[in-house]
Amino acid sequence: MGYRENYEEWLEKADLKTREELLLISGNEEEIKDRFYAPLSFGTAGLRGIMGAGLNRMNIYVVRHTTQALAALIKAREMNEKGVVVGYDSRLNSKDFAFEVCRVLVANRIKVYMFDELRPTAEVSYAILRLNAAAGVNITASHNPKEYNGYKLYWSDGIQISPSEARIISEERECIDMFSDVFLTDSSSAEKNIIYLDRAFDSGFLSAASGVCETGLAARPCRDLSVVYTPLFGAGYRLVPEILKSAGFKNIFVQKEQSVPNGEFPGIRTPNPEYAENLALAIETAKEQNSELVIGTDADADRIGVAVRLRDGTYKTLSGNQTGAILLEYILSSKKSAGVLPEKAAAVKTIVTTELVSAICKNYGVELYNVLTGFKYIGEKIDEFKKTGKTYIFGYEESYGYLPGDFARDKDSVSTALLICETAAYCKSQGKTLYDALCDLYLKYGYYEENTSEFYMQGLDGLEKMKNTMKSLRKNPPEALGGLAVSGIKDYIHGLDGLPASDVMYYILEDNTVVIVRPSGTEPKIKVYVLARGDDKFDTESKISAIKQEINQIYF
C-alpha cells in the first residue's frame, strides 16, 4: 500500500486516541507521508524513532507488531519456556510500551520477566544471562531527545541481536498484519503471568558490578572522595548511589533538580552526558559541596560522563576517550603491581576510539582488539575470549560507554561509576586528580586528541543524502587531508580485518592520524572522527582543525 492507504487504514483500525492524533494532520500531506511512507526500520540496533501515530513512529502498534515477530522466532526455536526479560527507562511511554511487549508475549504463551520499575540497560543484559532467558527487550532511546523512544533487542547471550536474527524478525514483520495478526492478551491476564524482577534481584547485579574493583586495585584505603552525581532524570538514579555507598564512599551528593526520573528531561535538550552543558547543574552543586568529582549518566544509564575539579577550583569535563584511557591505565597498572594481571589479558575498543589505548595495551603486554562501532561487537569479543582462553579486562567506545567486567554484554554506567571513583580515590591518595592522571598518560605515551563531527541529514531524502555522501567518498577519495597525504584507505563495506561488512571509510594519513567516516545507525546523520597524535596540544589541535575544515568543504 501507499502512504495514503496506510494512513486511511490506521484511521479505520486504530484506537480512538490514535485516530484523534491522525485527524489533526489530515490536511498536512507532507506529515502524513513522513509518518506512513515506510515502517520504522528494524535492525541490529532494534527500533528507534520519534513517538507518535504512524508506521514510521514509535507507538503501541509498532511495539506490538515487532514483538509478535520476535515471538514467532522464539516459538520456532522452541524457547518459550526460557522466557524474555523486559526492561525500560525513564522516557515518556517507556513503561507502557514495555507492558505492551508483555501482553503480546503472554498471548503467545512465552514466559515473561519484567522489571518492576526502570533499570539500567546493563541489568537487562545481566538478567538474560542469569536467568538463562531466550531474549530481552529494553524500551529505551538511550541519549536521544525526549521525542524519541526505542526497542532494544537482545538474544540469549545477552548481546544485542545479530544481523541474522534481525533479518528474520524484519522479514517476519513484513509477513504479518499489524492489526489482525498480532496476538494480544488483556491487561489483567498479562499481570497474572508476568514474573516481576524486584529490588531483591538488584543485589546480584550490584554484587557482580562491584566485583570489577575487587581484584588487584589499590584505592580501598581512601574513601573521603567527594562526588556529585546526576542521573539526568534517568534510570541510574538509585543504583549508582547505592553501589558507591556500599563500596564505602560516604560523600556522595545527588544533584537534586535532576534526581527524579522524568521523561520530559526539563532544562536539557537531550539526556546525554557527552554534552558538557548537561553537567552544569551538577558542577554548581559540586562547587557548593567542594567536591572533587562530578559524574552523570544518561536516560538508560549505559553512558557516563565525568568532570574533574582542577587545582584552580574550576571543573573540566573529560571526553569519553580520555576517561576510558585513564581507567584502562589504572586497571592494568594496579593489576600488574599486585601481580594479578592475567597472562592472556585482552582489551577491546571500537575502531573510532583513541589510539592511546593501543599504546597503553602495548606497554603492559595486553592484546588489544578493534571492533566496529557498537557495543554489541565488544560483547561478542567477551564471548569469544571465553572460548579461546583469553581474559577480558576492559572494553569501551569513545561515546562514553564502558564495561569493566563480563557480568553483562552491554555498556554499564553503574560498575563504571564505581571504577571511576576508585580511580579518582587512588589518584587523591597520591596527591593527584583524574586530570593529572590524564596528563601523566600524555607524558608517558605522547599527546593524543580526538574530535567527532556530526552532519545531520533530516527529511524524507535524508537517507538518500547519506548514501550519496558515502558514495562520493568512495568514488572520489581524498589524496590529502589538512595538508597530510593519505597513505592508506580501508573500506569496510564488504568486511575487512576480520570484521563484518559495515558502511565505514577509514583513512590513514602520513603521520598515522586516522580519519573515519560512517553513517549513524540510529539517527539521520554522518559522523566524522579524527584520531590524532602530535607533539603537544597545539600541534594536535591544529591538525584536527585543518582536517575538519577540508572535509567540510569537500563533502558536506
What does the alpha-carbon distance between residue 233 and residue 143 come to, in Å, rounded to a whole number?
A: 11
Query: Which strands sit side by side in the sheet containing 367-371, from one edge to the other?
Result: 367-371, 345-350, 391-397, 401-403
Helix, strand or coil, per DSSP, at residue 129: helix
C-alpha cell recorded at residue 42: 528494524
For 346, the enclosing helix (H) or strand (E) is: strand 345-350
Which entry of 94, 142, 210, 291 is annotated as an active-site residue? 142
Q: Please say if 291 is a catalytic residue.
A: no
Please give the torsion angle defined by the CA atoms of residues 47, 50, 264 and 243, in that order, rounded to the nearest 10 degrees: 10
What does the alpha-carbon distance between residue 134 and residue 77 come to, in Å, rounded to a whole number?
A: 10
The residue among 535, 537, 480, 472 whose CA lies nearest residue 505 is 472
The Cα angle at residue 537 between residues 533 and 540, in degrees rounded to 5: 40
C-alpha cell recorded at residue 123: 541489568
The residue among 229, 225, 215 whose CA lies nearest residue 429 is 225
The residue among 295, 278, 299 whose CA lies nearest residue 286 is 295
What does the alpha-carbon distance between residue 384 and residue 376 come to, in Å, rounded to a whole number?
A: 12
- Spatial contact of 308 and 228, defined as CB atoms under 8 Å apart: no
Query: Which strands sit side by side in the sheet containing 194-197, from one edge to the other?
Result: 47-50, 148-155, 135-139, 84-88, 112-115, 194-197
- Spatial contact of 220 and 74, defined as CB atoms under 8 Å apart: no
Inter-CA distances, 373 with 94, 353, 521, Å = 26, 9, 9
Q: Is 389 exposed, middle or buried (0-12, 13-18, 19+ CB in 10 A)?
A: exposed
Q: Is 334 exposed, middle or buried (0-12, 13-18, 19+ CB in 10 A)?
A: buried
Query: Which strands sit side by side in the sheet containing 226-230, from one edge to the other?
Result: 251-254, 226-230, 293-297, 304-309, 315-318
**Residues acting as catalytic residues:** 142
